[in-house]
Structure 1
């Protein structure tokens, strides 16, 4: 073996290792500098609005009953009269004829038989509805109260709960998103202040879903006239030294 070969090999190995280490340092430093250059802070911004429903859907149902088949034609006329009476109450409280819908009058038959299959009792029932869809949301409550008084006349009435809807979300979306973004920046500024850096521009942003809920409720969205509209945005800001 050449005795001069071993020291040369060692020197070359040392130089190669030094080169790899230096290369590794510069690569690591480059990655570090890139990471520092992209220092960011993620913050969430909340915006809320209390609004009032602008559309109401409501339906009242009622039924009339007789035990005699021969009385059904007259019962049908009575059902028509009840529908007219209910619609007149709605008109009295400000609803237009176009907003009032009179449902079809349906007939059903039921009977009870004894052990010998003889009829003990029977009933012919006519049922119908009166419904509205209107933007005049505030008019419904007093009309419903007056309709309940018809129970004293012996009417079998189901004064169903109305459904209140807010349909103007697109009108308030831009302002709410602007407010949510501003609130997110305020949160980022608080973080930056503690870290002795400044908040720069927006790197990326994610808009959350808009949620409409009955005021004071976490789930329902159709039972109350007042609604809470809510959106949360998630925004990543650059941080500057």
Structure 2
């Protein structure tokens, strides 16, 4: 009876030992695997393109001056019509042209003390704006503005609010390709890092898409847009 009990205890002990050994082996492998997957590398991939702007907003500001309020409005109407005729004759559609309300300043009302009276009491500014998708054609017309000066139109436009704007509204058309391109560039960098460190590149752990930026290529070519996006990708590494 004692011999049978001893055998049972021995067998039970062996089973417990084997079970603990197996569990230790599994836990050891799990720890090693976890440690391998814990290693990672963070890389960035850049995608960059140059695109022609697809919208131009071109404000043409002109000025008139007179001592008679009625006369200044007549002059504004005449100059406004000359500008519209000039634009239409050069290929701008009438529905692409809009006109702002005139801004009239009474110089005598701004005069203080005994200062010298201004030559003209009333000075008025008005703006004719072209909003067009024919960017290159409009830029050609800009080079002909001297023709309006020869017709007696006094053009201004040094102020910030009347500067020409160029927009790129087709970003959604190129977004997927640029994101794919930036992700591929990130993988190239990660692959090179893995090779240099004698590691193997694993799966993606996390990925972050940066914001798209649109800016002029340079000051002389604001109609050409530089579009950039940077993707940040974290890859697992293993030995």
Do they fold alike, i.e. is TM over 0.5? yes
* Secondary structure of 1:231 counterpart: strand
CA deviations on 1:116-141 (whole Å, 9 max, x unpaired) are x8967551223221011111111222
Counterpart Cα distance in 2 of 1:237 and 1:184: 10
Map 1:21-170 to 2 at 5 A: 31=31, 33-67=33-67, 69=68, 72-111=69-108, 115=114, 122-159=120-157, 160-170=162-172
Partner of 2:194: 192
Partner of 1:179: 181
Change (3 A) 1:240 1:98: same
Counterpart Cα distance in 1 of 2:210 and 2:201: 22
Change (3 A) 1:80 1:164: same
* Offset at residue 153 of structure 1 (A): 4.3
Counterpart Cα distance in 2 of 1:194 and 1:120: 76
Counterpart Cα distance in 2 of 1:43 and 1:135: 38
Ranges in structure 2 where 5+ consecutive residues have no aligned partner? 1-25
Contact 2:207 2:231 in 1 (8 A): yes
Counterpart Cα distance in 2 of 1:172 and 1:45: 16
Ranges in structure 1 where 5+ consecutive residues have no aligned partner? 1-25
Contact 2:86 2:148 in 1 (8 A): no
Change (3 A) 1:119 1:113: farther
- Structure with greater proportional strand content: 1
Counterpart Cα distance in 2 of 1:94 and 1:120: 40
TM-score, normalised to structure 2's length? Answer: 0.76
Counterpart Cα distance in 2 of 1:119 and 1:227: 48
Contact 2:72 2:122 in 1 (8 A): no
* Secondary structure of 1:46 counterpart: strand
Change (3 A) 1:133 1:202: same
Counterpart Cα distance in 1 of 2:174 and 2:119: 60
Deviates more, 1:122-131 or 1:228-237: 122-131
How many residues are aligned here?
210
Question: RMSD of aligned C-alpha atoms?
Answer: 2.9
